[in-house]
Amino acid sequence: MIKRAIALLLTLAVGALFASLLVGYVPDSELNQTARYYAERTAEDIGAANIVTAIIVTYRGLDTLGEVTVLFISAAIVGLVLAQGRVLNNAPQQPRAPVSELLSTGSRVLTPLILLLGVYVFVNGHLTPGGGFQGGAIIASGMLLLLLADPLKHFSHQLIAVLESLSGLLFVGIGVLGMLLAGGFLDNRLLPIGQLGELFSAGVIPVIYSLIGLKVGAEFSSMLASLSETSDTTEET
């Protein structure tokens, strides 16, 4: 009873906090200085139609590298923890509940389309909303659909590892090349900026975002693959 009262009180306190924020909120009538700089200079300096992508990949490219590193570390730790309970390939598999025909047939139709959508999202990251992280997550959900339809499916961890480390290396390599040949680390003017709004524009942004997309997709897929390969018996705690 006291627990409930405390929980209710805490909820009310948080609600009051947010309510005061909401009441005091006045929308800005114009962009602030930083936002105005990005809005005015992106098309000219970066050549990306999507300002958010220009900020993520070029203006704040180092932060994105950090973000990708965080994701890499978490994928590595998940793989490390789940590898404890991995079933050996020659071990007898325990029988699983059969998968419905609707799911297995539907996944065969949908998975290529989902993968195509994921690639489209990260290749067009500099033109339309979305980019490497979103595209990678879409690709990973396609992989998860495959796993749902066939729980005994094995993804090649070697392929995933090669793809993941290659795109990571290339990402950093492009950044260093930008430092040598263009204005600085991860500068996108390594390639010509081109016409605003075309697929091959905005310098190396499409290349970097495609690499990020592949990397994120590979990391999520490796987490899901190791999750599906753990055995049930060793998981008891």
Partner 1 sequence: MMSMSPLIAGMTLLLCVTLIGAALVAIRAKAMPVAILASGLVSLIASILFLVLAAPDVAMTEAAIGSGLTTFLFFFVLARIRASQPDSARYDEAEKAGDEHD
Query: For binding to partner 1 (CB under 8 A), which residues are involved?
Result: 27, 50, 52-53, 94, 96-97, 121, 129-131, 133-134, 137-138, 140-141, 144-145, 147-148, 151, 220, 224, 227-228, 232
Question: What's the min distance (Å) between Cβ of 114 and partner 1?
Answer: 9
Question: What's the min distance (Å) between Cβ of 193 and partner 1?
Answer: 21
CA–CA gap between residue 58 and residue 185 (Å, rounded): 9
Question: What's the min distance (Å) between Cβ of 192 and partner 1?
Answer: 25
In the bound state with partner 1, the residue whose beta carbon lies nearer, of 36 and 179, is: 36
**Type of residue at 84:** Q
Question: What's the min distance (Å) between Cβ of 179 and partner 1?
Answer: 27
CA–CA gap between residue 179 and residue 173 (Å, rounded): 10
Torsion sign over Cα 63, 215, 209, 124: negative
In the bound state with partner 1, the residue whose beta carbon lies nearer, of 128 and 180, is: 128
In the bound state with partner 1, the residue whose beta carbon lies nearer, of 164 and 190, is: 164
In the bound state with partner 1, the residue whose beta carbon lies nearer, of 158 and 233, is: 233
In the bound state with partner 1, the residue whose beta carbon lies nearer, of 140 and 174, is: 140
In the bound state with partner 1, the residue whose beta carbon lies nearer, of 152 and 179, is: 152
Question: What's the min distance (Å) between Cβ of 71 and partner 1?
Answer: 12
Question: What's the min distance (Å) between Cβ of 182 and partner 1?
Answer: 25
Residues 6 or more apart in contact with residue 234 via CB below 8 angstroms: 84, 85
C-alpha dist (Å) from residue 218 to 35, 152, 155, 176, 211: 33, 19, 11, 23, 10
Question: What's the min distance (Å) between Cβ of 228 and partner 1?
Answer: 7
List the Cα angle 42/46/47 in 5-degree steps: 85
